[in-house]
Structure 1
């Protein structure tokens, strides 16, 4: 019997946990750089912490998918929450007993960064296990709206918490949020038992072998391979520009924190709107998701090209809304393809491998954006992004992504097979 999303308790718990985790992540992302400055006063060491976060992310992309596929995902999410509670709590404890150092802070941050990235892999992999197949577009749309809403609220809520409680008081709130997260995971029900491999033998060798299987799986499925490498080019086009936007608004346009906040809010609204309409838009283009990806990419490219010519907060805000709307639609379509066409027991590896490959050009995007902004002007960063995205849409046409079969009916079992 089909269960509607509004009555699907496991799904409701998952989206609730996603909201809580994003708020907790926003608080953590704001507190940790401030702690580095508190302990050392060094912006260089802040950069080192950022690099550690990137290393943790790539390690999870390499091995996290195999971990997510080798254990019961409910238990894995519970374990992640427990580790986050323990390690975030060590910071104020170490400070209280007078042994907190930058080395200990880096160790704690590295473990938490691993947990945050692994949570993302396990979280999105669990959706097809608790949601009916024909509800996946709607489920992904709601998830996108929840993520965008929490991402919009997170920095503001975090700033209020830090201002009211200070750095170390805020960390206890972070630990409390992770405890609430643990509570939501404990009440997950109706989990399918398709996420355990038959051999049941989990060790570093099997994790390595399963990680390689994830990469092989990506290369085995023709459309997945095309989408992943195409997405790498797409991310190359957007990553540097998104990171340079705040610099552009402050240095070139002259916006203060209020104006920048308004523009960022418009971007969050774009993400929320994309989630609200995703299922309906996907239904209209059913069987023609490739066309929808092309249209979304073209629209984002045009918005980037228009961005340097806008000067008022409302025009920049509307353009940024359009950019984030399009990016969210494209990203969710690729995630939906993986959920539709990869067996549940391989989902973690498929998502991890796709993110590993598709993010390979992101550092180059940041480097080029920084060099252009410093030597030519930030507006050329946006113009280049627009050109790259328009070229990406041409590549999508040349790759014939809409001529592939987007839905393989043999891969996902019905929810009725779950326990």
Structure 2
């Protein structure tokens, strides 16, 4: 019968100073190792799967005698149940490493998603909008939360305060949260359902956008006032004033005008072709040019080091240049984008051009697929007439309901 080691007391263990292994008793195979530096640690010698192993149980005195014996007994129980404690410990370490590798915060996930997707977005402004809404509304709530732990309660805490008062922003933000979380699921940073999804989820907990959305119209000039406005605008000098007039005459978006390059124009055919990558709808857009629009282009200088038609000091005009022209005119009550509404109201109320012609002139997407099929051909010919009529109307100053004056006549006088 093997000799049992004497069961040492805690005091006796504390007095062990010489270098070596000391059996402390209480559990067969439990030793205190004393190193040359007098550092002490617990070692449990046992047999696992027919192989002798030494299992460390921690340093002394951080792990006391009683705790060391309890650990040794637990290991013996595990071995008797067919568990390899060494392999089990390594498995837990590997699992922890894997968990730490997936430990990414929502803010980090959002930044990674934006960095990946921004290469496919049309302009830097889109990325900026993503960053701003997430930084303003989401990060204060879940920025430092692990992406795997973000749940529906978090999403509602973000959206509820702005869902009614800023519904358009909140609705876009929800979609962005859904995409970031969707990316995290696809990238194995989290599992389960997407807590920001709308269908069969948030649609039951938030009012439909169509019920709460307040449509914010851009302040626009009434079409009866366009003639007098244009007369004053034409008195101003500078590329900004010319760009604004050209924007009004073509019913284009300001960004489309500011980004226009000479290669997009065929002045002989009175045609402006905006490439798909510069259009909001992502489709190439043809704009027929009136005589006045062509005259503006012909008066613009062509610069060898700058491809833009309406150029600023650093290339393209800034997005505030056209707004600054309105401020110079004392018209803080209207916006540049509002002139598209002015054009649409005039076309709908003062002309007989079909609705689809007017919508195409604004490069609006048509919900009716049959209408949408008519992008060129006779529809384009009708748009030539529409834009020429608009240019003529912009030359008319309405003094009273029954009294109009042509701008050209005013100049002649």
> TM-score, length-normalised on structure 1?
0.24
Q: Which has the higher strand share?
A: 2
> TM-score, length-normalised on structure 2?
0.25
Q: Which has the higher helix share?
A: 1
Higher relative contact order (CA 8 A, sep 6+): 1
